[in-house]
Amino acid sequence: MIDFSKYPAEPFRIKSVEPVAMISREERLKVAQEAGYNTFLINSKDVYIDLLTDSGTNAMSDRQWGGMMIGDEAYAGSRNFHHLEEVVRKHFGFKHLVPTHQGRGAENLLSQIAIKPGQYVPGNMYFTTTRYHQERNGGIFVDIIRDEAHDATLDIPFKGNIDLAKLQKLIDEKGAENIAYVCLAVTVNLAGGQPVAMENMRAVRELTQKHGIKVFYDATRCVENAYFIKEQEAGYADKTISEIVHEMFSYADGCTMSGKKDCLVNIGGFLCMNDEELFQNAKELVVVYEGMPSYGGLAGRDMEAMAIGLEESMQYEYIRHRVLQVRYLGDRLKAAGVPIIEPVGGHAVFLDARRFCPHLTQEQFPAQSLAANLYIESGVRSMERGIVSAGRDINTGENHKPKLETVRLTIPRRVYTYKHMDVVADAVIDLYKNKEQIKGLRFVYEPKQLRFFTARFEEI
């Protein structure tokens, strides 16, 4: 039985609305077929509830919209850049900031300036664009997340932690000089939005310092991670979210950040660091790919909205509601026996496609088909996070076969209400009762890179 009293009301009032409409099942089936059963290729006008991603799909506040009106669009030295720099230094503590158009722009810069061909980049589970940039620049990704993160049924805290023994083993076998840096994600997206404990971050820092290895965070959902620390780790219950975030980053040498998540905006990102030489290299390279070091592919108004959004994300009532709204959806599905990744993370509920579709093999792309069928039956758009997203080994050409084969129901920030979560839950539960109707898929078009974005499929 769900205890509804533990879920807080939305900590905001709604000032503006965007109408949505549900098209018929027959129309949705046609749309899905024309999109090659890839939810990324469905037009948003044909979607009822859009849970494709939480990246750039946030609702901005009145203060952020007001900030957009005072954008300083100077080509160099915008006052909005200096405001963003001030806010990031206040909460993150890093000396230097290079703005980028979004998080993968920061990943591109970091991978080029920090990786020498043949070096290893250990991390707590891969992320698609992150690993692509690392491998494109000659890096070799090594997964050093704790083993428990690959078990969807295991409900324990801080499944995103780095396994220190795995990291030490890599250092011993390959040599510290052959490790570019440790990439530590807070939270770990593909593990189900799982957080990393402060104790683990501190231990990773202590280990890497002994060997002169840098640590860079994927800080995309750092505020969500801070909430889990406050909620679940001893000694942090009375700390503010900002204090926890600041301590988290004190154990890193820098970070990449997609502002499209915890900065509560629709576009933007940045790269942070303390090292002077890396900063100079990043400033030289950002001009090639993004723009001047004081705007990095962003308008001044975008940087202003990002600075205000980062401040707003540190408010406890906001982040508490955000995480618990996701947990509400997870609890509804668990109560109905729907298999999901446990525990529920900070930004999404992940359906366990292996257990949802036991009649399909992984090579039949069960998560891809599950996402397509959820759209067909309900108008709810989600996304695959399994063998299709994992891609192919760059050396052998064989499919990577992750242990987790999931469909991600990703909740945009400040966009949907609990009633929307009920609609989603009912749709998933109904589909689960009729899961045998879900057929396997095969490729009809497979891109060479990041195939999940544009691949097309047909039913087997």
Rounded mean pLDDT of the chain?
A: 97
Residue 212: per-residue pLDDT: 98
Banded pLDDT at 395 (limits 50, 70, 90): confident
The predicted-structure confidence for 60-94, as pLDDT tens digits, reads as follows 999 999 999 999 999 999 999 999 999 999 999 99
Residue 446: per-residue pLDDT: 97
Give me the residues paired with residue 400 across strands. none
Q: Does residue 58 register a pLDDT over 80?
A: yes
Average pLDDT for 135-164: 97
Give the whole-angstrom CA distance, residue 20 versus residue 18: 7
Residue 289: per-residue pLDDT: 94
Question: pTM score, two decimals?
Answer: 0.96
Q: Does residue 308 register a pLDDT over 90?
A: yes
Which tokens is 356 given? 């949802």
Residue 5: per-residue pLDDT: 76
Phi then psi dihedrals of residue 384, to 5 deg: -75, 140
Instruction: Find tokens 């920061």 and name the residue.
Output: 106
The predicted-structure confidence for 221-243, as pLDDT tens digits, reads as follows 999 999 999 999 999 999 999 99
Quickly list DSSP for 81-95.
HHHHHHHHHHHH--S
Residues near 181 by beta carbon (within 8 Å), at least 6 away in sequence:
114, 115, 121, 213, 214, 215, 216, 253
Average pLDDT for 125-149: 95
Residue 92: per-residue pLDDT: 98
Give the whole-angstrom CA distance, residue 365 versus residue 51: 20
Residue 152: per-residue pLDDT: 96
The predicted-structure confidence for 266-291, as pLDDT tens digits, reads as follows 999 999 999 999 999 999 999 999 99
Residue 394: per-residue pLDDT: 85
Angle at 166 (CA atoms; ends 165, 170), nearest 5 degrees:
115
Q: Looking at the annotation, which residues are catalytic?
A: 75, 127-128, 218, 261, 385, 452
Domains of the chain in start order, with CATH, are 25-54+316-459 (3.90.1150.10), 62-314 (3.40.640.10)
Phi then psi dihedrals of residue 436, to 5 deg: -65, -20
Residue 6: per-residue pLDDT: 86
